[in-house]
Structure 1
Amino acid sequence: MSRTVEDIKRSIKSGKATVLTQQEISEMVEEKGEIGLKDVDVVTTATRAIMSGTYAVLSFPLAAPGSFIRASSARINGVPAYPGPCPNERLGIIDLMVYGTAHSIRQPDYGGGHLLRELVEGKDVLVEVLAENGDLLEKDICLDEIPYARIFSTRNAFKNYVAFVNPKGLPLKTIFSRLEFPPHFAAATVSGCGQINPIKNDPHLETIGIGTRILINGAQGFVMGTGTRSMPTRPNLLGLADMRHMDPEYMGGFATSAGPECIGSWAVPIPVLNEYILRSILLQDRNIPLTIMDVNVRQKIGKSTYGDVWDSVDLEVQFDPERCKGCTRCTAAPA
């Protein structure tokens, strides 16, 4: 038995479609064991993690026309930004590209991911541009004053990822660990959300492709195809969305032991077209392989499953008062 996207669209329009989250599907599997195509039409999936392939393109008026010919370099809140290929000669307008992984020259734990979230929060940021003639132009600006602000991704939403261990004899600074990664297999760091990951639920990308509507950081966006380093065994996606409609709760920066990184979120609906997609959707964490790799050389040294990571785990954040540093101003308290 199979059906088309148009069949499912008609069911949605008539109000007869069954749309479930992946979490609800997982709970149904545990309770019933058997689920057929008649039980579900669309499954909603999502992933949220460090998304290193994230960047933003911003275009906005910086100064009066004729104020400068071309921009040589730029920073926003101390984060390097790169003038775009269009010079906008003498218009006073600048196009900038900001990498989510860029590091501030002023604050060691502040980077592109933090900057993009602050823009979405509506905060003013300081733009500093060095013109080709040596003039320095500065301007405080907020997202409402930026006519074009899009977030793009070169590779996001990997079909899960891997676990890393450090078998060497020395600690290691890495984007995969908040603190220095301890040696001698003392810890493991895991990336990937297992059964709720979008591509895990559509591994052959039968329903996800160019033009697929998705949510990036809560804003409607579109898939533009597969991303860099994508391969049939480990696919990922390339997408874009307008920053104006994003929710800061779903994005931000994260300070790793190797410096700040960028957090992003994707949500993707999966039409359940056939039995193969259904079987992929029903696959539980305990049945999803998790490769274990040496973080130093990125070579496989073992295997596990996502069940060892996510099954019977308390996902609530815990606070240990004995480990509190007693900062003068607690940045965690307002949240």
Structure 2
Amino acid sequence: MRTIAEINDKIRTGSAVVWTIQELKARVKDLGITKIYEQVDVICTGTFEPMESSGALINLGHTDPPIKIRQCWLDGIPAYAGFGAVDVYLGASAMADYSPTPDITDGDIRPISTIPERGGGHVIEDLIAGKAVQLRLIGHITDCYPRASFETTITKDTINQFYLYNPRNLYQNFIVGVNGGDRPLYTYLGLLQPRLGNAVYSNTGAISPLFNDPDLKLIGVGTRIFLGGSIGYIAWEGTQHFPLQKRLPNRTPIGPAATLALMGDAKQMNPRWVRGCYFKNYGASMMLGVGVPLPVLNEEVIRYCAIKDEDIVAPVMDFSIPRRVRPTFGLVSYAQLKSGQITIDGKKVRTAPLASLYFSQQVAQELKNWIERGEFTLTEAVAPLNMERSFLPQDRWDSKMAME
């Protein structure tokens, strides 16, 4: 057994051996698990994919006279202001919620956003890039906060705190979307063509971080990670965290399972790894680069990291049925998905990923470079992630059903 402290000592002296997950998978067949364990200290995983359950917490700083924010817009995108006086949260999927041509006689509404494809993720990207963003505030007047409104232009250098707090990132597996109906469907997976015209998947498969640590033994609350081109941390389990998902004998889940809540200082991030995006007729989101270092503490780590795309599967779901539980066309392997086509009911269906396999590999490589230069050390988790969390749906009961 190695320890994280021992690995960190080697990182500081420049003697740690660091591989990306791609390098490990390419060499494990020839070298074997034991030999790789003897050589390698850290394995770097990464992904670059849409993560719309993300957002930025911002402390704007106090005005003079002071304002207690009741409503806030950043470049016309609404931010949530139900915190302290000048704290706001800008969701990646937030979009302008009023017409760009309202009644200009209404003092509380004006046409400050005329780009319907622009959302919170785009504003976050611009702030990270150092660009100026228009700020508009409406206040809740009190004795200690007498100001009614405020407008200015901000950058990341003119605000106090600007950090990402993402409630749900890094899904451990996800679904494959298809459309068995007769009309196009615009979804969070993008356009699904009718009559099984295409299939879209969003996970990077065997190189995805959590597939290579299926029982979350190597990470936990406080684990240091690559987040948006800077250092971030695992803050907690993510929303919709469902580690009790059914699993194959290799411990990988057959559908959406574990998730992570992540946080990091957005002022230090790079817009190369944080990009606003938009799905036609669905809404805004954010492409995010996340890298997770896996310490090689024992041979079991190598065994789990040796999984191939042929060894993991995802369910094919029909979005033409507008229900929480949709019919499935069964399971397909990521090797089949990455081949460019799968077969559904005897029909060949072309496939495409939402995640960028190229940029996911680049995230892992960048994290490897940081560790090799001694700029990034590993952290011990301060608490494990809950592996017994069930998944609770929200079903609507009317009064008659409740009485029955």
TM-score computed with the length of structure 2 as normaliser:
0.71
Contact 2:132/2:154 (<8 A) preserved? yes
CA separation of 1:10 and 1:62: change in aligned 2, threshold 3 A:
closer
CA distance in 1, matches of 2:56, 2:16: 36
CA deviation map 1:72-109 (0-9, x unaligned): 2111001011114213xxxxxx1111001101343210
Match of 1:263 among 287, 293, 317: 287
TM-fit CA distance, 1:194: 1.1
Q: Kindly provide the amino acid, as one letter, of the partner of residue 160 in structure 2.
A: P
CA deviation map 1:179-199 (0-9, x unaligned): x42111111111101122111
Partner of 1:34: 32
The farther-off stretch of 114-123 and 269-278 is 269-278
Partner of 1:112: 120
Secondary structure of the corresponding residue to residue 207 of structure 1: coil
Match of 2:303 among 255, 261, 279: 279
CA separation of 1:275 and 1:291: change in aligned 2, threshold 3 A:
farther
Matched, 1:156 2:169: yes
Matched, 1:45 2:45: yes
CA deviation map 1:213-238 (0-9, x unaligned): 11110111111121111121311111
CA separation of 1:6 and 1:277: change in aligned 2, threshold 3 A:
same
Matched, 1:121 2:129: yes
Partner of 2:392: none
CA separation of 1:280 and 1:47: change in aligned 2, threshold 3 A:
same
TM-fit CA distance, 1:62: 5.3
Secondary structure of the corresponding residue to residue 285 of structure 2: strand
**Alignment of structure 1 residues 1-335 onto 2, 5 Å:** 2-29=1-28, 32=30, 34-36=32-34, 37-61=37-61, 63-66=63-66, 68=67, 70-87=68-85, 94-105=86-97, 106=113, 107-133=115-141, 135-177=148-190, 180-232=191-243, 233=245, 234-257=257-280, 258-295=282-319, 296=321, 297=323, 298-299=325-326, 300-310=328-338
The farther-off stretch of 73-82 and 39-48 is 39-48
CA distance in 2, matches of 1:217, 1:259: 21
TM-fit CA distance, 1:246: 0.2
Q: Kindly provide the amino acid, as one letter, of the partner of residue 188 in structure 1.
A: A
Two-structure CA RMSD over aligned residues (Å)? 2.3
CA distance in 2, matches of 1:40, 1:310: 28
The farther-off stretch of 203-212 and 5-14 is 5-14
CA distance in 1, matches of 2:132, 2:235: 31
TM-fit CA distance, 1:272: 1.6
Secondary structure of the corresponding residue to residue 61 of structure 1: coil
CA distance in 1, matches of 2:49, 2:199: 17
Partner of 1:325: none
Contact 2:135/2:152 (<8 A) preserved? yes
Secondary structure of the corresponding residue to residue 310 of structure 2: helix
Q: Kindly provide the amino acid, as one letter, of the partner of residue 245 in structure 1.
A: Q
Structure 1: stretches of 5+ with no match in the other structure: 88-93, 318-335
TM-fit CA distance, 1:152: 0.6
Secondary structure of the corresponding residue to residue 210 of structure 1: coil
TM-fit CA distance, 1:311: 5.4
Contact 1:124/1:141 (<8 A) preserved? yes
CA separation of 1:48 and 1:15: change in aligned 2, threshold 3 A:
same
Residues matched between the structures, number: 305
CA distance in 1, matches of 2:174, 2:31: 27
Q: Kindly provide the amino acid, as one letter, of the partner of residue 16 in structure 2.
A: A
Secondary structure of the corresponding residue to residue 290 of structure 1: strand
CA distance in 2, matches of 1:10, 1:262: 36
Partner of 1:90: none
CA distance in 1, matches of 2:25, 2:212: 12
CA distance in 2, matches of 1:274, 1:24: 18
CA distance in 2, matches of 1:280, 1:58: 39
CA distance in 1, matches of 2:138, 2:271: 30
TM-fit CA distance, 1:14: 4.5
Contact 1:57/1:96 (<8 A) preserved? yes
